[in-house]
Amino acid sequence: MDGPPFWASPYKHRRTGRRATCGRPYGEDVTTTVREAKRALRERILARRRDLDATALASAASRLRDVVLGLPEVAAASTVATYVSVGREPGTGPLVEALSDDGVDVLLPVLLPGGDVDWARYTGPQHLVPAARGLLEPDGERLGPAAVTAAPVLLVPGLAVDRRGHRLGRGGGSYDRVLARVLGSTTPVFTCVLLHDGEVLDIPVPREPHDVPVDAVATPSGVHRLR
């Protein structure tokens, strides 16, 4: 596992039968439990990320670039869908620039009202503009939410992932939609979450029925194939 464990004990499912006496389906209680477990795990990981300094983040971003570029799926791809990191996320700036310099068609997300994701081509840092939620987005032509299915590689953000590929996001649901879209694509898409060292968990990530697992995780220390 990457780095020392920092997470809480695994959440416990409440396995139930027909209906609760209060009139709510027991399934709603299970869903609430999973969401609470996700929230608690997010808080722990975000607190840990807040301790990362700028020097460590810059070094990790360079190492992450080299790790991702070493993936055979990325080396063979003419198009890669990825994202612009913000805050203390694993840095993607060096990776985006390297892909673009290599002639790869880089697609970046554009958040839509309602939480779905459109896509636009990366054409240089001067064409990244501030957007909602503190994000940076490309200012070029919108290609439509389905454009991601044309990319053989999709690199997604996250907070953690377990050994079966179950990813913990920030809770907005945008990348759940993106992953579901590529899962239903007629052409295979290699999906990889980018994380810091120490965010690959040996315990199960709490998950809901709509959560779609990823194929791999890349950290500054290397790649783990999942599932």
- Binding-site annotation, residues for ATP: 38-42, 167-175
H helical segments located in 102-173: none
Reading the block at residue 110, the tokens are 């554009």
- Quick check: helix, strand or coil at residue 98? helix
Beta carbons of 164 and 226 less than 8 angstroms apart = yes
Distances (CA, A) of 185 to 95, 131, 181: 25, 28, 6
In the annotated binding site, the residues are 38-42, 84, 89, 167-175
* Closest of 18, 16, 12, 6 to residue 36, by C-alpha: 12
Partners of 130 in the beta sheet?
Answer: 136
In the annotated binding site for substrate, the residues are 84, 89
- Cα gap 131→144, rounded to integer Å: 17
CA atoms within 13 A on the CB side of 97: 10
Burial of 193 (0-12, 13-18, 19+ CB in 10 A): buried
Beta carbons of 83 and 108 less than 8 angstroms apart = yes
Beta carbons of 158 and 169 less than 8 angstroms apart = yes
